[in-house]
Amino acid sequence: MPTDSTRPRDHLRVIVIGAGMSGVLAGIKLKEAGVDFAILEKADRLGGTWRENTYPGIACDVPSHFYSYSFALNPEWTRQFSPGVEIQAYFEGVAERFGVAEKIQYGKEVKRAAFEQGRWRLEMSDGSRDVGDFVIAATGVLHQPNYPDIAGLEEFEGAAFHSARWDHDVEMSSKRVAVIGTGSSAIQIVSALVDQVEKIELFQRTAQWVIPVANNVFTDEEMAEFRRNPDAMLAIRNDIARTYIDGFANVLVDAKNPVIQGIHAACEANLENSVKDPVLKEKLRPTYQAACKRLIMSNDFYAAIQNLNAEVVTEGIERAEKTGLRTKDGKLHELDVIVMATGFRVDQFVRPMTVIGRGGLALDDVWREGPFAYMAISVPEFPNFFMLQGPNGPVGNFSLIEVAELQVGYISGMLEKIRSGECREIAPSQAAMDRFDAERKEAAKSTIWATGCKSWYLDATGLPTAWPFTFDRFQEEMTAPRLEDYDLG
């Protein structure tokens, strides 16, 4: 005879926070499992990163047939690396097709989520409330823009905006444009804008290694074949996945892996062969190992930056003035537009939302010295609260869709334990958290990211925060949870 605490739960409500790629995926899987759920989205449209980043040239540098849900392959991708608008349309189409679009509540920014009397109680910025038994936080990684602290920026009379807040009302043609930063966003922007604008100045604090990658257009015949034979897409997807795992993801976690030398050599050869002017070549030459920072994949950046109207500025920015940016050498760079392609605040994750666990414990306090999560997914004392793309997950030149699918599979298993009545609360034990974190920190020291460059992979102490083990291990951990590491209450 089942006791009260082991009886299957007749009603269980799951709340998913965020309707980006991960939140939509969670919704699809919850719907398939017949679970009652809601997706709360702060904006007025789904899509996450792809809704927010609309800058010229935006594309995903993970091949499209790999950057697709495994169960919703898309024969309509136009290119090997498709542009942002296609990706946004893809997520909207899938959400519609799988019946989760109607489960998304827009304009619902969760301000506070607290675990009280065994349930999660949520408060939204519009004053509304909701209650759920289980929370899946799908709030993204690179979400809160990082604004550079430039003195006098408010005095600048032109337009100034972050790459993730592109102002489409600003006409770019015949303008003098500054792009600050040399990350993936900046490189795509420069390549896309160079032919439109009068002048483009790239303010580079750190040079980047660039690996050339062709972006082939799929022919009508290829697309027709994909429509006729989905297995052709699946074969491509599986091929790419294996290449990325063996040739990249598994390699980066061992700085001594000889494959990294090959990547470095390919980047050096690209710089050598693509940039003619020796002065520019040296400006663009990084002083660290390739792949230490996130590798830039581009076939057109070096050509773009050698255009007559393009310039690399390596002098630091002193301040902004009415008419432009003054660099530390005293030179005024006259400008109409300043684009801050300066990345994101990567220490935020679910924040600024306030999350309160057992006994009034605040996640902000737990994460005072930086965010962390057991297996990148959950935190002790925060029962029935699971994150997608949470801290210490595998990020960097890999399909985050693959990551999310594995994580959703893991979380579904945890949810099932509650649904079946095996337990009412589930959270990792402190001992498991401490063991995982110690092992993670030790492994992080021998990754490529720890070889002496500055990047968003590093925490405040300079230690890489990303998953420092192989991707194969991530797959294993996600498919076979270590239940002994959880407290089932």
Type of residue at 435: R
415 forms part of the interface with ligand NAP (CB under 6 A)? no
Instruction: Determine, following the binding rule CB under 6 A, whether residue 68 of this chain makes contact with ligand NAP.
Output: no
Which lies closer to ligand NAP via its Cβ, residue 23 or residue 181?
A: 181
Q: Does 205 bind ligand NAP (CB under 6 A)?
A: yes
Residue 206 interacting with ligand NAP (CB under 6 A): yes
Query: How many C-beta neighbours within 10 Å does residue 41 have?
Result: 26
Binding-site size, ligand NAP (CB under 6 A): 22
State yes or no: residue 392 binds ligand NAP (CB under 6 A).
Answer: no
Q: What six digits make up the tokens of 339? A: 């684009």
CA–CA distance, 301 with 32 (Å, rounded to integer): 43
Identified binder of ligand NAP from the candidate list 64, 68, 185, 399, rule CB under 6 A: 185
Q: How far is the CB of 62 from ligand NAP (least distance, A)?
A: 6
Nearer to ligand NAP by Cβ, of 180 and 408: the residue is 180
Q: By CB under 6 A, is residue 326 in contact with ligand NAP?
A: no
- The least distance separating ligand NAP from the CB of residue 295, rounded to whole angstroms, comes to 9
Q: How far is the CB of 354 from ligand NAP (least distance, A)?
A: 26
When asked if residue 57 is in the footprint of ligand NAP (CB under 6 A), the reply is: no
CA-CA-CA-CA dihedral for 431, 433, 437, 439, to nearest 10 = 60
Q: How far is the CB of 274 from ligand NAP (least distance, A)?
A: 19
Find the binding residues for ligand NAP in span 261-300 (CB under 6 A). Answer: 294
The window from 55-63, 169-177, 264-272, 470-478 that contacts ligand NAP (CB under 6 A) reads 55-63
Residue 436's Cβ-count burial label (10 Å; 0-12, 13-18, 19+) is: buried
Q: CA triplet 441, 442, 445: central angle to 5 degrees?
A: 90
C-alpha 446/C-alpha 422 separation (Å) is: 40
Beta carbon nearer to ligand NAP, 374 or 398: 398
Burial class (CB within 10 angstroms; exposed 0-12, middle 13-18, buried 19+) of 415 = buried
Q: Which two tokens stand for residue 333?
A: 């760079």
Question: With binding defined as CB under 6 A, does residue 178 bind ligand NAP?
Answer: no
Q: Least distance from C-beta 152 to ligand NAP, angstroms?
A: 14
Is residue 182 a contact point for ligand NAP (CB under 6 A)?
yes
Residue 35's alpha-carbon distances to 31, 38, 75, 128, in angstroms, are 6, 10, 30, 22
Name the closest residue to ligand NAP (Cβ).
183
Among 14, 38, 186, 249, binds ligand NAP (CB under 6 A): 186
Q: Give the contact letters, 125-164, x = binds to ligand NAP (CB under 6 A), - = no.
A: -----------------x-----x--------------x-
Q: Could you tell me which stretch among 245-253, 321-329, 338-346, 418-426 binds ligand NAP (CB under 6 A)? A: 338-346
Choices 107-115, 178-186, 239-247, 409-417; region in contact with ligand NAP by CB under 6 A? 178-186
Out of 341, 355, 401, 418, the residue judged to bind ligand NAP by CB under 6 A: 341
- The number of beta carbons lying within 10 Å of the beta carbon of residue 272 is 10
Q: C-alpha distances in angstroms, 310 versus 254, 281, 285, 416? A: 37, 14, 17, 56
CB 445 within 8 A of CB 438: no
Residues 431-470 as x/- pattern, contact with ligand NAP by CB under 6 A: -----------------------x-x--------------
Cβ nearer to ligand NAP, comparing 164 with 373: 164
Pair 320, 155: CB distance under 8 Å: yes
Residues that bind ligand NAP (CB under 6 A): 59-61, 142, 148, 163, 180-186, 188, 205-206, 294, 341-343, 454, 456
